[in-house]
């Protein structure tokens, strides 16, 4: 059992916190009230960033002290949204939110994952007709191993998890968000994920 703090109590954060609680972890969800995120991060071993990506860097920089030495699982995508509210471009072209977070928080072990799918798939990957892929990007092998274990508890089979390497590889997975508006306009909000077929 791990003590996990989920930052963000929207659809993504709520779904992850419920699933991780069912898996036996002690989960705290931080809402937007002052100090809630700091209190949650301070006592956690693992912190999950499920806040809207456009504001994540600023929010997490404010928690630099609380995040020191912790594993930060980043599932957000930093995008510029179009008039319909769907992603229209990347906020950090040539970089990624994952890289920006690791650079800004050198004492924190950042792992990027679960950002290439509709949020419902994060905790129910087996419901898709084809096997989805969960990617891992991060500098710390130990942190990635811990996150791999969490993914398996969420229903991800080991062969569905692909370690892409260092945090720089988060550029590739974050760019996949550009598929999302087109897929949604084409097929609606039906669950989907990026998958590597072999």
Read off the pLDDT of residues 15-70 as tens digits, 9 standing for 90 and up.
999 999 999 999 999 977 768 899 999 999 999 999 998 999 999 999 999 999 99
Q: How far apart are alpha carbons 150 and 72 in whole angstroms?
A: 13
Alpha helices in the chain (DSSP H): 11-22, 36-43, 53-61, 64-67, 97-104, 119-122, 141-153, 170-175, 180-187
Cα–Cα distance list, 174 to 19, 22, 59, 94, 131 (Å): 23, 28, 19, 11, 20
The candidate with the shortest Cα–Cα distance to 70, out of 120, 143, 162, 179, is: 143
Pairing of strands 87-90, 46-49: unpaired
Average pLDDT, stretch 104-119? 97
Superfamily in which the 3-187 domain is placed by CATH: NAD(P)-binding Rossmann-like Domain (3.40.50.720)
Pairing of strands 71-74, 26-30: unpaired
pLDDT of residue 34: 64
Q: List the structure tokens of 93.
A: 């072209």
Q: How far apart are alpha carbons 86 and 189 in whole angstroms?
A: 12
Q: What is the pLDDT of residues 136-189, one digit of tens each?
A: 999 999 999 999 999 999 999 999 999 999 999 999 999 999 998 899 889 888
Q: Where are the domains of the chain?
A: 3-187
CA angle 77, 119, 134 (to 5 degrees): 75
pLDDT of residue 165: 98
Instruction: Give this prediction's pTM.
Output: 0.95
Sequence-ordered list of residues with C-beta below 8 angstroms from that of 98, at least 6 positions apart, any chain: 74, 110, 112, 137, 138, 167, 170, 174
């Amino acid at each position: 059992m791990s003590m996990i703090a989920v930052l963000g109590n929207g659809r993504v954060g709520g779904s992850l916190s419920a699933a991780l609680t069912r898996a036996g972890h002690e989960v705290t969800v931080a809402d937007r009230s002052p100090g809630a995120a700091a209190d949650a991060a301070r006592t956690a071993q693992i912190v999950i960033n499920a806040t809207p990506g456009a504001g994540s860097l600023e929010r997490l920089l404010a928690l630099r002290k609380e995040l020191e030495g912790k594993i930060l699982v980043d599932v957000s995508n930093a995008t510029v949204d179009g008039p319909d509210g769907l992603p229209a471009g990347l906020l950090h072209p040539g970089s990624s939110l994952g890289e920006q977070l690791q650079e800004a928080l050198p004492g924190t072990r950042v792992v990027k994952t679960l950002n290439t799918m509709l949020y419902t798939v994060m905790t129910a990957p087996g419901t898709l007709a084809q096997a989805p892929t969960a990617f891992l990007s991060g500098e710390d092998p130990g942190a990635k191993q811990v996150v791999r274990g969490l993914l398996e508890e969420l229903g991800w089979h080991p062969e569905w998890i692909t370690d892409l390497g260092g945090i720089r590889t988060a550029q590739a997975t974050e760019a996949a968000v550009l598929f999302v508006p087109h897929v949604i306009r084409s097929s609606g909000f039906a669950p989907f994920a990026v998958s590597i077929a072999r």
